[in-house]
Amino acid sequence: MTKPRPAIAVVGAGLAGLATACELTRRGFDVAVFEREAHPGGRARSEKVEGFTLEAVGPLVSDGDRRLLAWIDAVGLSDEMLPLRPVLTKLAVGEKLATVESDGLIDIARTPGIRPLQALRLIRLPRLIARYGDRLAYDAPERGASLDDRSLGDFGRLYFGSSVLSHWLAPRVTETSLGRADDLSRVLFLRRFRSHGSARSGLLRSGLGELSEKAASGLAVTYRAEIERIECGAAGRITFDVKGGTRSQSFSPDAVVVATSAPEAMRIAAPSLVTAERESLADVRYRPAISLAVGLRRPFHPHPQHIQLPHGEGSPLESVLLEPGVTGGRVPDGRGLALLRATGAFSAATFDAPEETLVKELLAAFARIHPGAESAVMFTKLHCVARALPGFDVGRYRAIASFERVQRELRGEGRRLYFAGDYLMDPSLEGAVASAHRVAAAVAEDLSSPA
């Protein structure tokens, strides 16, 4: 008789949960996914509006997002989503848009607004990265704890100067972390620079929703199944309560991976957590995000453009992504889509403002970059996400290090409860997928992978 395969329950069908489930299935486990909503994708969902694919996250990824791109390939979506559609990076300097070549440090040094003498100091960056070495390993964020002692703002000003900070260092990470350079840990920037270097950004050719739908279609996912409580009892027994519609069921899997946000993980796993874990999860602070998708009657440019706004110039916008339509793409041919992303400061300060006010302010800021933009607007769709991104401020990597230490101890004692999600790795799609790989490897090690 063949031995039954260990049963793993994954809570949450966001990218971290789906990638964990795919990886564990590939390794031969029997995996069941439980998702509270009626669809997969979590924060990285897409929706269709007037033939346009819209998402709060946006389709801009990088060649350096190796784990995400490999997963797209593994689920069989390379032909639909890849190769990335090249994007021109621009910097809004006053009323003008300057092209930024970001192939290497020489190109960065040519970025308008960066003072030449400060640009020269960028030569120190590769040396610093080499010196920090494995402390910046992408899959092991806890190793960054010893460097997690100063903010990106302090670090940038000290090593390179304020013009490099405001025109290059800060825009590189604040858009996808929504923090202020003076709060964010320098480790966030250093880790991303080490893993992504000067990799080029580009647009996914179809929506992220397609990725989660396709990944989920190959898995056993139960939707509208909200996990209410996970309890690890004696002899490693885990009970697991699911509320789905009016039904309530109890399961007893061999291991559970909680791939929700940190506050939700704390709520449902509370009976099984030790104090240090509870404190760690409670400490993760999420930032709100506001973005506005604008359907345009005409594409403004023949090629996609990613326009960044230098920090400290008072615009509510962090960036604008302009995507001209193509046949069979995310945006109908002959049309254009602008994704306006508000700064973290604007999002936090105006989150509760009336929708019309937000739309008006963001469109007015867009028109300052693109005079006449308002006349091309077909529709707008505002996304306000209260818990958009986990903060990676100074201290976050030290907190991850202590969380990981406790996880190792409890695994050693036989507890089979695991956590995955962007808040444990990096606040990004790539971070969610990387945390999934990590947790799947831990489960396979503890339960001896059947594959």
Ligand X SMILES: Cc1cc2nc3c(=O)[nH]c(=O)nc-3n(C[C@H](O)[C@H](O)[C@H](O)COP(=O)(O)OP(=O)(O)OC[C@H]3O[C@@H](n4cnc5c(N)ncnc54)[C@H](O)[C@@H]3O)c2cc1C
Residues 174-233, interacting with ligand X (CB under 6 A): 176, 226-227
Residue with tokens 């858009």: 175
Strand order in the sheet with 85-86: 60-62, 201-203, 85-86
What track of x and - describes contact with ligand X for positions 32 through 61 (by CB under 6 A)? --xxxx----xxx-----------xxx-x-
Per CB under 6 A, the list member of 8, 9, 12, 132 interacting with ligand X is 12
Q: Which of 187, 100, 62 is nearest to 137 (CA)?
A: 187
Strand partners, 240: 230, 251
Distance CA 215, CA 230 (A): 25
CB of 283 to ligand X, least distance (A): 17
CB of 371 to ligand X, least distance (A): 26
Q: Which is nearer to ligand X, 105 or 270 (CB)?
A: 270
CB of 289 to ligand X, least distance (A): 4
Q: Which is nearer to ligand X, 111 or 174 (CB)?
A: 174
Strand partners, 256: 9, 417
Per CB under 6 A, the list member of 6, 8, 9, 17 interacting with ligand X is 17
Q: Which is nearer to ligand X, 119 or 190 (CB)?
A: 190
Q: Which is nearer to ligand X, 37 or 154 (CB)?
A: 37
Task: Return the half-sphere exposure (C-beta side, CA atoms, 13 A cut-off) of residue 194.
Answer: 22
Q: Which is nearer to ligand X, 122 or 430 (CB)?
A: 430
Q: Which is nearer to ligand X, 14 or 209 (CB)?
A: 14
Q: Any alpha helices (H) in 162-293, and if so which ranges?
A: 162-164, 170-174, 186-196, 208-217, 262-269, 275-282
Residues 289-318, interacting with ligand X (CB under 6 A): 289, 291
Residue 133 Rama label (left phi>0; alpha psi -120 to 50; beta): left
Total count of residues recorded for the chain: 451
Q: Which is nearer to ligand X, 108 or 227 (CB)?
A: 227
CB of 42 to ligand X, least distance (A): 2
Helix axes 66-74 and 429-446, enclosed angle (nearest 10): 70
Residues 245-264, interacting with ligand X (CB under 6 A): 259-261, 264
Residue 58 Rama label (left phi>0; alpha psi -120 to 50; beta): left
Residue 154 — φ and ψ, nearest 5°?
A: -60, -45
Q: Which of 344, 300, 393 is nearest to 176 (CA)?
A: 344
Distance CA 30, CA 390 (A): 31
Distance CA 126, CA 193 (A): 9
- Selected range binding ligand X among 106-114, 324-332, 383-391, 409-417, rule: CB under 6 A: 383-391
Per CB under 6 A, the list member of 321, 389, 394, 444 interacting with ligand X is 389
CA 197 distance to own-chain centroid: 18
End-to-end Cα spacing for the chain: 17
CB of 208 to ligand X, least distance (A): 8
Q: Which is nearer to ligand X, 37 or 80 (CB)?
A: 37
Q: Which of 13, 11, 8 is nearest to 227 (CA)?
A: 11
Q: Which is nearer to ligand X, 391 or 431 (CB)?
A: 431
Distance CA 158, CA 150 (A): 11
Strands annotated E in 218-304: 220-222, 225-232, 238-244, 247-251, 255-258, 286-296
Per CB under 6 A, the list member of 9, 10, 16, 340 interacting with ligand X is 16
Residues 406-445, interacting with ligand X (CB under 6 A): 421-422, 427-432
CB of 13 to ligand X, least distance (A): 5
CB of 388 to ligand X, least distance (A): 4
What track of x and - describes contact with ligand X for positions 138 through 177 (by CB under 6 A)? --------------------------------------x-
Give the count of residues interacting with ligand X (CB under 6 A): 39
Under 8 Å between Cβ of 179 and 392: yes
Q: Which is nearer to ligand X, 148 or 318 (CB)?
A: 318
Strand partners, 48: 53
What track of x and - describes contact with ligand X for positions 58 through 97 (by CB under 6 A)? x-x-------------------------------------
CB of 248 to ligand X, least distance (A): 13
Which residues of the shown chain bind ligand X in the complex (CB under 6 A)?
11-17, 34-37, 42-44, 56-58, 60, 176, 226-227, 259-261, 264, 268, 289, 291, 385, 388-389, 421-422, 427-432
